[in-house]
Structure 1
């Protein structure tokens, strides 16, 4: 029988709160969302009293409760927290509370630990709720078979982290995508049943759900209450929002996720432990920008978050591809230094046998036929010009046409009956194989040390299909991710100053698990600025700009064939961690001058761009976008007004500039450092014409509440609008 007089504990930070009642046999969540304030004993008693609903017809004979570990033992008919069995039995877990901990964090928020035990399965379970000062709630669990449990392994099928949602959370937003078109939003009503997104690619994938948000219908960037979850795991994942007709206790629905486990992947013998990935939950009363603010604050507060100014990067891929020639690359480096590049990265093509993408992958030795003196002549030249030297790797993959594959076929993932087709001419190395792991660590460690490498572009181009290994075809996806994390952690411990970029066919491995160990992500293989405006806008829902790699490519896009103006390409890249991915030695002097002005503009505005709050305007249609970065105290801002396509409307009307103080007084100007955008108008608006020549005083009430009539641009053009306090 449930005990209704449990002790209540609360976590509060940044206007959000979690309230848990330590009832028996299993504690329950009384509230997650807006801060309820300091609760007295009478207040918590009232909250507990109002947390029991009606006893329904044709239902269990007591009020249903949504517990911290919901199972059928609670009368819960939705996705359970735990699924598994002992040799076909013990399939109805019934954990009971054994203890709890509660502590506050110095900067705000706190942590609750709830310990339970399940005699049926022999499992001890600990659930940890950690509310960060940002207001983001991290939830994780640890399941350990007791040492005295029966020797049959417990086959863990699934662990789901779940939190309740109110009835007003009735619209779902998540993401899909494909190569060069990642993070495409999709919205739908939340009805009865489950909205479930499963990732079975061995990495989050180009169609990653990324962040599952549920909010009041019509929520936007700036308005509406919204709840969201992100699974911080770099392998298979599961996201869900689920609503049953009877609700979830007095709540309407649940939101959650976890690792997607393959059959037989986690078998817990006595003494063994499974730790779930952290699921990060956020709540906002101020729309998607408010939710993004919380996640950006969470990431910026990490001890390992990049603290030094993010350098302008030149990556050699779209400049030279596989045509590695020392003299050509030296000339490219010379030109890069002249325009203001601060980091030079040598991409694919430097290692043994790598003249195309069908050979050499896995043979991580500098090719003596192309680099007879090694990489030192280029690396030293780059550093003599005042730039860092970086290098591309794809450690987890192997070409069949490689010495590694020929000498160690037992290191390659695939079923014993024979591997399936290659993808991108490659297979996957079993990084969890001790010898393969040791080989990769030795090669990476040696090369980083030998050449003074400051930066690794770490790629991961194919998906993990049939990710099994050994004569028993043991599932290896979970072990692969853990070994990958261990490889990154060990390499970083040996080279603390080394920075690493997570790249996976562009944006296929972007999650907070990999970002706990890396310094930025490669957002997409597509440098087309029209595509990039959308990709970057939505990548920013989770990540702050300084973690989002964005490069300026050639006029004709490598991936789409679209031709765009350099002013638009430069303006688009400015709002992330910018770089260059084109052959500067082929650029005309006028274009080089604009690139040089762009790097100078970036260095000038870098503190604002990488320290302010991201803002996005809610506009009708997708032909135009307005986004920007506003200083934490609203004293300065930079906005991008971009047109991606033509529209039926000739005028934008007044467009409010989000994020500024309505009671402050401001000066506004249009930055013309990169040149003027192409205008589809004869003249004006008047403020815009005046702002081309210098600062124009405009009060915050006009900027924020009334808005500015924006210039009508031609498609593929953008204007940069700078604001500062008067």
Structure 2
């Protein structure tokens, strides 16, 4: 082995350092930037990475390697699990060679026992997000290697002692949950065929009490749209000199991956990130990471009008044309025709799979609507659910073998089953259908839905488990469709926010955060969805006064302000809006178009407040900031007092404006704070040190109300 024996990657205030000696390299450090290590520094780090030899323990110090196995006396989750006919189940890998440069470290290991070669690639991106990519290849040997799992794992220090991840359900996605990191495993397994509404989403471990603005945190995300495994694990003996580990990967079903000689398994990329600036610091890294990806569009996010909650399945050309005209007048830039346009689709019990326009509803096809949409200068989008099929469809009747599941099907979900995308004929049919419709109508945008979980997902022909094959086929389908139509944009929807991950976002332009448009629910859903992905890829629409999903009635101003902080759109039926409401929509559209360069490029900040029913969140840049002050429910305190505005420069002076275009919230007070009254009359100049360090006494809002503040720096030169 040639020098150096200690190598490191550095970016954006983060270091990742590995010692290349021993049978398998070990991670010496992952966290704060240690600087450019000299030989003396590197030797000191290596020297201090040796653990004590404990009582009743192995006679050599425990080490925690990049590929942890029982061979190094690791009793936690191994990096790889599998066997060949019950043999070769305990690997003993050895480092064969490595390469290092351009922010990347690649380690190649060989394991004679299993006949596996392993390639581990670490890439520390300019944002400080560490990508870990793993490929295992069967080089030889008798029989098939039944691969049970491959995970990427990194160590954590003792001070990382509290866990934050997420759960949820339909219309309540990404609900946070916190717990101390106890001994044993905090393990989350996803067996839904997609991340699901209860996805762990971003598993974070940090110093106890970490918050949006403070505390050291370490997080991981499995960038994969199928079954997953996530874990934070702490053993009494630790992990070498480290206390615990953080990891994840694809969850493989029995028999799903069986490697013959020469075959490989490429695990999904697992992303890790560290921050010493709390959850906002972690979010900033992931936002910068996603914005730098080649698939992230730099095009301004068009204000969208989706027809679903306006018309549901009642497709009538005259009504839709009226809706389109009104949308164009208020400033809409994209119209999306939702479910109900294809053959036999009058409700959700039939038609899925028959991807041709229903001529009984659309006698001239979609052409009259599409032509009018494009003539008004709008983009045209169309809803699909290509991965699903109703039994009441020509496709299911003619090709029952294309259904993903056993011959004796289990219970339907939402009256549908999954279509086996890994079946070459089914795949070709879908690609041909989608390609033809996009080409015929000049479709600019697809809303791609996925409304059931993949239970009993077995290939009818081979009998093999099919979630992995389904996910890979989905990725190929998206890739090939976009290769044929490079300007096409695609949204990932899955019963709302059931498939939100960096795997699907490597191939789509936006996610639908939730089917729930109730702004009280949306404030929380969007707050936590933005923990991983930036606002411009989070679909956020204004619904009706009475919420379709919660039956709650809310003011239009609250709905409008809430929807600003994402990729904004309208779901309400504009044909039933009053002239005053249409004027409010117009003003809001202008406001969105004015603010979106900031909202879709700045840094997301969220204030740590003692009152769980008060939110202050915003987006800041060097010269401008926009904040939402929202009250979800009444609080015990009479008034909030001074609230610090996060992310501002205390050395600058700011011009503070109260944006009133969409109306003002109702206040629960006789008189508002003096600064607020003056800011309503015109821009008010305030020093950054007061705003960021002392804070503003915020007005007391009634519940389900929100206020919009716009701040810009004052140039004194």
Q: TM exceeds 0.5?
A: yes
* Residue 471 of structure 1: how far off its partner (Å): 4.9
- Offset, 1:472: 4.9
Would you say the 8 A contact 2:326–2:574 is kept in 1?
Answer: yes
Tell me by how many angstroms 1:24 deviates: 2.6
Pairing partner for 2:207 from 203, 216, 228: 216
Q: Which residue of 2 aligns with 1:616?
A: 606
Helix, strand or coil at the partner of 2:221: strand
Would you say the 8 A contact 2:225–2:471 is kept in 1?
A: yes
Of the candidates 631, 655, 658, which is equivalent to residue 643 of structure 1?
Answer: 631
Deviation at 1:151, TM superposition (A): 3.4
Task: Give CA deviations for 1:189-240 in whole Å, capped at 9, x if unaligned.
Answer: 0010000000000000000000000000000000000000000000000100
Q: Return the alpha-carbon distance in structure 2 between the equivalents of residues 86 and 57 of structure 1.
A: 35
C-alpha distance in 1 between matches for 2:55 and 2:4? 27
Matches for 1:90-105 after TM superposition, within 5 Å: 90-104=88-102
* Number of the residue aligned with 1:125: 118
* 1:241 matches 2:223: no
State the distance in 2 between where 1:304 and 1:70 align.
33
SS state at 2:505 partner? helix
1:191 alignment partner in structure 2: 182
Check whether the contact 1:351–1:360 (CA below 8 A) recurs between aligned residues: yes
Distance 1:501 1:336 in 2: 20
1:620 deviation in Å? 1.0
1:420 aligns to what SS in structure 2?
coil
Instruction: Report what 1:87 is aligned to.
Output: 85
652, 655, 676: which is aligned to 1:688?
Answer: 676
Conserved? CA contact 1:361–1:397, under 8 Å: yes
**How far apart in 2 are the matches of 1:355 and 1:361?**
11
Instruction: Report the alpha carbon displacement of residue 356 of structure 1 after superposing the two structures with TM.
Output: 0.2
Match for residue 27 of structure 1?
25
- 1:448 is aligned to 438
Contact 2:156 2:242 in 1 (8 A): yes
- Residue 541 of structure 2 corresponds to 551
Please name the residue that 2:513 is paired with.
Answer: 523
Q: 2:374 aligns with which of 383, 406, 411?
A: 383
Map 1:222-371 to 2 at 5 A: 222-371=213-362
CA distance in 2, matches of 1:433, 1:472: 10
Q: Which residue of 2 aligns with 1:720?
A: 708
- Say whether the 8 Å CA contact 2:403–2:460 is kept in structure 1: no
Q: In structure 1, what is the Cα distance between the partners aligned to 2:156 and 2:611?
A: 29
Q: Mean alpha-carbon deviation: is it higher for 660-669 or for 549-558? A: 660-669
The alpha-carbon deviation at position 130 of structure 1 amounts to 0.4
Is 1:142 equivalent to 2:131 in the alignment? no
SS at match of 1:135: coil
Write the distance in 2 (CA, Å) between the matches of 1:567 and 1:471: 55
Distance in 1 between residues matched to 2:2 and 2:502, nearest whole Å: 37
Q: TM-score, normalised by structure 1?
A: 0.98
Aligned match of 1:50: 48
Change (3 A) 1:170 1:4: farther
For residue 709 of structure 1, the aligned residue among 673, 677, 697 is 697
1:208 is paired with a residue of what secondary structure? coil
Shift of 1:473: 2.2
1:107 match: none
Aligned residues: CA RMSD: 1.0
| 1:622 Cα deviation from its structure 2 partner | 1.7
CA shift in 2, pair 1:132/1:497, >3 Å: same
SS at structure 1 position matched to 2:229? strand
* TM-fit CA distance, 1:6: 7.0
Q: Deviations over 1:60-93 (max 9, x none)?
A: 1111111000000011000000100001111100
Aligned with residue 115 of structure 1, among 102, 108, 113: 108
What whole-Å deviation, never above 9, does each CA across 1:541-580 have from its counterpart, x for those lacking one?
0010100000000000000000000000000000100000
Q: Distance in 1 between matches of 2:301 and 2:404?
A: 37
2:642 aligns to what?
Answer: 654
Aligned match for 1:469, one of 419, 437, 459: 459
CA distance in 2, matches of 1:11, 1:580: 45
Residue 5 (structure 1) shift: 9.4
Aligned length: 714
1:674 matched residue in structure 2? 662
Inter-partner Cα distance in structure 1 for 2:2 and 2:259: 34
Counterpart-to-counterpart distance in 2, 1:703 and 1:680: 23
Supply the distance in 1 between the matched residues of 2:527 and 2:54 (Cα, whole angstroms): 45
Contact map agreement 1:4 1:23 (CA 8 A) in 2: no
Q: Distance in 1 between matches of 2:82 and 2:345?
A: 46
Matched, 1:165 2:156: yes
Determine if contact 1:6/1:23 at 8 Å carries over to the other structure.
no
- Which residue matches 2:65? 67
Partner-residue secondary structure (3-state), 2:153:
strand
Cα deviation digits, residues 28-67 of structure 1 (max 9, x gap) = 0000000001110010000000000111111111111110
Length-normalised TM-score, structure 2: 0.99
Query: What SS does the aligned partner of 2:174 have?
Result: strand
- Residues 401 and 461, structure 2, Cα contact 8 Å, conserved in 1: no
Please give the alpha-carbon distance, in whole angstroms, between the structure 2 residues aligned to 1:549 and 1:161.
Answer: 31
605-614 vs 462-471, which deviates more?
462-471
1:326 to partner: Cα distance: 0.7
Please point out which of 581, 585, 594 is paired with 2:575.
585
The residue aligned with 2:401 is 410
Question: Could you say which residue in structure 2 is the equivalent of 1:37?
Answer: 35
Aligned-pair CA distance for 1:470:
2.5
Q: CA deviation at 1:23?
A: 1.3
Deviations 1:391-422, CA, capped at 9 Å, x for gaps = 00000000010000000000001124x11010
C-alpha distance in 1 between matches for 2:163 and 2:3:
35
Give the secondary structure class of the aligned counterpart of 1:521.
Answer: strand
Q: Deviations over 1:610-656 (max 9, x none)?
A: 1100000001132110000001x2x2100000000011111001000
